[in-house]
């Protein structure tokens, strides 16, 4: 006889939180862990043993979440490949006479150990409390854990969520009360792009709205507020993979100053000069590892946790510096966050570029070598 249980007992798991398989048997048991039906890990165990499967699944989240707008609803986005955020997992065990298996879904990301323990103590998990809780803030954002999500107008990015199958989702703007809706018939991962929702209301009704209520059926779920950003001469954004495994954006302002040269010793060597019969000094091209200093601008206490999530993230990109994203390692020196913060604060962020360069040349775009027209976009070639 043998038995298997998954702890916690659920159909959905986060890959950065434990997925404990506990097997009780009286003989040798072999087990297979499958992703999308393909065996990716196998093992054996004797008698009673436990394995944390989360580590296995974590290694198989290698794709980048790319959103594609729905043709009929440009504000609703779906993933090009859902395996970027969700894997179909299976675990199968068998001994010499009997086999049994469990299917479940594993999502990229996780919650803090403190929250995980607290939810478990209350017989809940992040899916019941947030992700599949239709009448709360179910979006995969770390900006807010309450019912109001605030995004600066310069930080808009699609807000992902698990679609509530069989329900209708409404987004209602608060200025004139117009709304858009979508009915979900399948259990999948989608996202709402609130910049496109705003554009839709403007183009359809001439209304420019920045406060949106999200409802499931007739019931209120949460509110999304697009906050005014300050005018800034220089503005960049950091795109980071948040704790839920999807990208969010935070703006950085200020006068960016690059420190290309570190304090590393210059590598030199000597070359014999036969004319003077002396050794002459040479050096290789210098390796440059850019470091950038910027400010977050003034952010409200609700965003302190998002900033912490950004600083903890293993995948952060700087946008707006070059024509393409630059992977960076962010840090805030001597960061101190008030425990009961009530006042907005600004933080100085240091960004170390991940790639070092030995050659320096500015960006060359696809049309970089051609002379642009006088009013290139507005006027025809004949006019120029």
Partner 1 sequence: MEKQKFSNIVTAPEIASQSSVLYKKWKEDHVGSQKDFYIFMTVPSVERDRFLARFERQRLVSGAVVSNIITATEV
379 binds partner 1, rule: CB under 8 A: no
Cβ proximity to partner 1: between 100 and 298 the closer is 298
Give me the least distance between CB of 234 and partner 1, in Å please: 12
376 binds partner 1, rule: CB under 8 A: no
Give me the least distance between CB of 359 and partner 1, in Å please: 34
Residue choice 63, 128, 199, 350 for contact with partner 1 (CB under 8 A): 199
Give the HSE-up count for residue 144: Cα atoms under 13 Å, Cβ half-sphere: 18
Size (the chain), residues: 384
Binding-site size, partner 1 (CB under 8 A): 38
Element (H, E) at 151: strand 148-152
CB 225 within 8 A of CB 299: no
82: exposed, middle or buried (Cβ count in 10 Å: 0-12, 13-18, 19+): middle
241: exposed, middle or buried (Cβ count in 10 Å: 0-12, 13-18, 19+): buried
What 3-state class would DSSP assign to 322? coil
154 binds partner 1, rule: CB under 8 A: yes
Angstrom distance (rounded) from CA 12 to CA 9: 9
Angstrom distance (rounded) from CA 384 to CA 372: 9
Element (H, E) at 194: helix 194-205
For partner 1, the binding residues in 226-245 under the rule CB under 8 A are 226-232
Strands laid side by side in the 189-192 sheet: 67-69, 76-79, 189-192, 159-162
Taking the CA atoms of residue 159, residue 162, residue 165 and residue 171 in that order, the dihedral angle to the nearest 10 degrees is -20
Cβ proximity to partner 1: between 83 and 213 the closer is 213
Q: From 75-83, 93-101, 281-289, 295-303, give the range in contact with partner 1 by CB under 8 A.
A: 295-303
Cβ proximity to partner 1: between 202 and 269 the closer is 202
Signed CA dihedral, 322, 328, 331, 337: sign only: positive
Dihedral pair phi/psi, residue 368, rounded to 5°: -60, -25
Give me the least distance between CB of 253 and partner 1, in Å please: 10
**In the structure encoding, which two tokens stand for residue 9, read together?**
């007992």
Give me the least distance between CB of 136 and partner 1, in Å please: 17
Residue choice 198, 214, 243, 252 for contact with partner 1 (CB under 8 A): 198
Report the DSSP pairing between strands 99-107 and 12-14.
parallel
305 binds partner 1, rule: CB under 8 A: no
Residue choice 71, 123, 206, 368 for contact with partner 1 (CB under 8 A): 206
Annotate each residue in 16-35 with x if it binds partner 1 (CB under 8 A) or - if it does not, as one string.
Answer: --------------------
Dihedral pair phi/psi, residue 114, rounded to 5°: -60, -50
Q: From 132-140, 204-212, 268-276, 322-330, give the range in contact with partner 1 by CB under 8 A.
A: 204-212
Give me the least distance between CB of 143 and partner 1, in Å please: 12
Annotate each residue in 316-355 with x if it binds partner 1 (CB under 8 A) or - if it does not, as one string.
Answer: --------------------x-----xxxxxxx-------
Cβ proximity to partner 1: between 174 and 285 the closer is 174
CB 221 within 8 A of CB 265: no
150 binds partner 1, rule: CB under 8 A: yes
Give me the least distance between CB of 377 and partner 1, in Å please: 10
Residue from 255, 234, 158 nearest 197 by CA? 158
Residue choice 29, 209, 238, 306 for contact with partner 1 (CB under 8 A): 209
Residue choice 176, 181, 280, 331 for contact with partner 1 (CB under 8 A): 176
Give me the least distance between CB of 149 and partner 1, in Å please: 11
By CB under 8 A, name the binding residues for partner 1. 148, 150, 153-154, 174-176, 195, 198-199, 202-203, 205-211, 225-232, 298, 300-301, 336, 342-348
């Amino acid at each position: 006889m043998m038995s298997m249980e998954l702890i916690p007992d659920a159909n959905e798991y986060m890959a950065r939180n434990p997925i404990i398989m506990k097997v009780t048997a009286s003989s040798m048991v072999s087990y297979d862990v499958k992703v999308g039906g393909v065996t990716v890990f196998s093992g054996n165990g004797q008698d009673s043993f436990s394995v944390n499967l989360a580590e296995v699944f974590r290694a198989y989240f290698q794709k980048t979440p790319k959103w594609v707008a729905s043709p009929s609803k440009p504000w609703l986005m779906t993933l090009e490949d859902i395996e970027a955020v969700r894997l179909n997992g299976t675990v199968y065990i068998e001994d010499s006479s009997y086999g049994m298996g469990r299917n479940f879904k594993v999502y990229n990301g996780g919650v803090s150990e403190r929250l995980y323990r607290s939810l478990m103590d209350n017989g809940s998990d992040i899916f019941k409390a947030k992700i599949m809780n239709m009448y709360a803030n179910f979006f995969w954002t770390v900006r807010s854990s309450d019912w109001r999500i605030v995004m600066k107008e310069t930080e808009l990015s699609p807000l992902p969520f698990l679609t509530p199958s069989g329900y209708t989702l409404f987004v209602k703007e608060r200025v004139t009360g117009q709304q858009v809706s979508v009915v979900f018939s399948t259990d999948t991962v989608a996202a709402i792009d609130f910049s496109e929702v705003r554009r839709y209301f403007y183009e359809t009704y001439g209304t420019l709205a920045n406060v949106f209520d999200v409802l499931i059926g007739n019931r209120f779920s949460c509110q999304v507020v697009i906050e005014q950003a300050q005018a800034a001469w220089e503005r960049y954004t950091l795109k980071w993979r948040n704790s839920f495994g999807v990208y969010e954006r935070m703006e950085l302002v200020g006068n960016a100053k690059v420190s290309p040269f570190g304090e590393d010793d210059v590598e030199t060597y000597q070359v014999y000069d036969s004319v003077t019969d002396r050794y002459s000094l040479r050096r290789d091209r210098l390796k440059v590892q850019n470091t950038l200093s910027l400010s977050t601008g003034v952010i409200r206490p609700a965003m302190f946790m998002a900033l912490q999530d950004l600083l903890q993230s293993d995948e952060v990109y700087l946008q707006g510096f070059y024509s393409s994203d630059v992977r960076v390692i962010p840090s805030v020196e001597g960061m101190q966050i008030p425990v009961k913060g009530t006042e907005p604060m600004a933080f100085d962020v240091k960004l170390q570029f991940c790639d070092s360069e030995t050659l320096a040349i500015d960006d060359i775009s696809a049309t970089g070598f051609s002379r642009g027209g006088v009013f290139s976009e507005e006027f025809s070639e004949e006019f120029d």
